[in-house]
Amino acid sequence: MNKIQAPFKGDNNATYEMNTVAGADMEEMAGRKELEAHWVRVCDRLRKEIGDKAFKTWFGEVELGELKAGKLRLYAPTRFVRDWVGRHYGDRVLAYWQSVNAEVKNVEVNLVPPPAPRRPNEIIAMPPVPSSQNSHQPPMPRMGPSIGRGADEISQTPEARYTFNNFVVGKPNEFAYAAARNISEQDMPLPERNPLYIFGGVGLGKTHLMHAIWHVIRERDPKTRVLYLTAESFVNRFIQALRTKNTGQFKELFRNVDVLMVDDVQFICGKEASQDEFFFTFNSLVEQNKQIILSSEKPPSELQDIEERMRSRLGSGLVADIHSSTYELRLSILQTKAENARVPVPVNVLEFLAHKISTNIRELEGALNRVVAHGQLIGREITVEMAQDVLHDLLRQADRKVTVDEIQQRVAAHYNIKLAEMSSPRRARSVARPRQVAMYLAKQLTTLSLPQIGKRFGNRDHTTVMHAVRKIEELKVSDHSIAEDVELLKRQLQG
C-alpha cells in the first residue's frame, strides 16, 4: 500500500505540487458552483413554463450530475421519472442549458447511482432508532414492487365470494355488468373504454363488480400486475410518502402496474395534492396503454371539489351506471342467495323482503341472513310474521325511504337554487340556509350518521352538520316562515 508522507521542510518541489493540487481543487469547486447556479436558472425557466405542480412532480427529485466533454448528466430517482423527463422535457432542458452554458452539447438523464459497496471491516454509523414512546409518526410501510406476486402488501385482496358467476343481473345493472365483463376479458385496453368508470348508490354492487374483474384478470394471467385499493388508501399512502420524502418510490410503485383499480374514487375530492398525484398517475398509465378501473357513488359530472382536468379524465372512457334496484331484481337476488345457501325460504317471505327493503342490496342480503340465522339458531319456522319480528328495526328504517339525494333535490327546488349548491363551498345566506335545512331534514328523515351526512354535502365535517341541525331547530321556534318550510318539505318527502 502506498503511504502519503509529509514533505520535508524546505522541499520546494513538494510545496509546489501541494499548491498546484490545492489550486486545482479550488478551480474545480468554483466550476461546480457555477454549474449549480446554471442549474438553478434552468429550473426557474422550467418552473415558469410547465407550472409549479408539474415541476415538483417531475423535477423535484432530479439531481444535478457532472459536465464532462460537453455531456451534462442529470440523475433521476426512478426509471419512470428518468424516462418521462427524457421523453417529454429532454429538448427543452437541453435548450435551456445551452442558453446559460455554451459548453453543454448534450443532456443525459440517468438513474441515481447505487451507493458504493461497503468495504470489509468498514463501520457505518447508523442513526438511533426512535423508541415507540418518543416517536409520533408511524413507520412507513414497505412499498417494494411486489405487485401481482401473491401476498402483496399494497394491493387489497378482493373477496373470493364476489365473482361474475354469483352477480345477479337485472335491468338496473346489466350495462355495468356487461362493461365489467368485457374489460376483464380484454388482452389490451381499448382507448375508448379506458378508464372504466362504474358509479351508483351505496350497496348496489359496484364493489362486487370490481372484485369480479380482479378475479378474472388474475385467473387469465396470474403474472398480470393488478393493483386494487380504495381511494382513501391511495391518499393515505401518498401522505405517508410526502411525510417521509419517499415520493419517488411511490411513483415507481403506482405507475408500473398493468391494471390499476381504485374503489370510491370520490374520496379524492377536495384533496388538491392527492388529486394532482392521481392525475399524473392516471396520465402515465394511459400513455403506457395500461387499464384503469374506477368506482364512485356519483358520475364524474357531479363530483364536487375536483379540478376540471381530472373530471374530464375520469369521464374520458366508458362510464357505466348502476340504477336503484327494481322489485324483480331484488327478488331474484334473494332467490339466488337462498338457493346458494341451500336454505328453504318461503316465496312469500322473499317477496315481503323484496317489497320492504328497496334502497340497498347489501341491507337486503343482510336481512335475509338475519332471518335465516334466527330460524336455524332459535328453531322458529320462517314466516312473514317471524321476519317482521326479527327485522323490526330495519323495517322501521325502511319505511322511511327518504334519501339524501331526494332531500337535496326537493330543498333546492323549493328555494330555487341549483342542486350543486348543496355541496358547494359558498356561504352566502341564500345558499347556506337551504343547505342547513337540507342537513336538518337528512338528520330527521334518514338513518345516516352526522359524518355520513356531511360527506353527502361536499365532504363537510360532522360539526358543520351538528351546527346546521341546531340552527334550524332554533329558527323553527323564532322564524315562522322557516318552520312552515320545514314542515311542508317534510310532508312532501314522506308523502
pLDDT at position 116:
44
pLDDT at 147 over 60: no
Q: How does strand 71-76 pair with strand 63-68?
A: antiparallel
Q: What is the DSSP letter of 139?
A: P
Among residues 419, 400, 401, the alpha carbon closest in space to that of 409 is found at 419
CATH class entry, domain 151-322: alpha beta
DSSP 292: E
Nine-digit cell at 80? 419512470
The confidence score (pLDDT) of residue 407 equals 93
Distance of alpha carbon 147 from alpha carbon 258, whole angstroms:
10
Is the pLDDT reported for residue 1 higher than 50?
A: no
Per-residue 3-state assignment (H helix, E strand, C coil) for 144-168: CCCCCCCCCCCCCCCCCCCCCCCCC
Rounded mean pLDDT of 46-57? Answer: 82
The alpha carbons of the chain give a radius of gyration, in whole angstroms, of: 31
Answer yes or no: is pLDDT of 125 > 80.
Answer: no
- Say if residue 468's pLDDT is above 50: yes
In whole angstroms, give the CA distance from residue 200 to residue 299: 8
DSSP code of residue 314: H
Domain 404-494 belongs in CATH node 1.10.1750.10: yes
The pLDDT score that the predictor gives to residue 394 is: 76
pLDDT value of residue 166: 86
Nearest to 241 by CA among 253, 255, 224, 226: 253
Confidence tier at 432 by pLDDT (50, 70, 90): very high
Long-range contacts of 466-470 (CB under 8 A, 24+ apart): 468/435, 468/436, 468/439, 468/440, 469/439, 469/440, 469/443
- pLDDT per residue as tens digits for the range 242-285: 888 888 888 888 888 899 999 999 888 888 888 888 988 898 88
Confidence category of residue 118, pLDDT binned at 50, 70, 90:
very low
Residue 245, marked binder: no
Q: How far apart are CA 84 and CA 69, in angstroms?
A: 25
Cβ contact 67:35 at 8 Å = yes
Does position 140 have pLDDT exceeding 50, yes or no?
no
> Hey, is 193 helix, strand or coil?
helix
Report the pLDDT averaged over residues 430-444: 92
CATH 3.30.300.180 holds for 3-111: yes
CATH class given for the domain over 327-399: mainly alpha
Is 207 labelled as part of a ligand binding site?
yes
User: Out of 84-88, 129-133, 159-163, 400-404, which region has the weakest mean confidence (pLDDT)?
Assistant: 129-133
pLDDT in tens, 405-422: 989 999 999 999 999 899
Predicted local distance difference test score (pLDDT) of residue 114: 56
In degrees, rounded to 5, the angle at the alpha carbon of residue 254 between the alpha carbons of residues 252 and 255 is 65
Q: How far apart are CA 349 and CA 385, in angstroms?
A: 9
Residues of the chain with CATH 3.30.300.180: 3-111
Q: What is the location of CATH 1.10.8.60 in the chain?
A: 327-399
CA 477-483-486 angle, 5° bins: 135
CA distance 184 to 216: 6
Structure pTM? 0.55
Ordered alpha helix ranges (H), 101-200: 174-184
Q: Which residue has the cell 375520469?
A: 314
**Quick one: three-class SS letters along 349-380?**
HHHHHHHHCCCCHHHHHHHHHHHHHHHHHHCC
pLDDT digits (tens, 9 = 90+) for 285-327: 888 889 999 999 888 988 888 888 888 889 889 999 888 777 8
Q: Measured between alpha carbons, how far is 84 from 71 in angstroms, rounded to an integer?
A: 20
Q: Return residue ranges of the chain for CATH 3.40.50.300.
A: 151-322
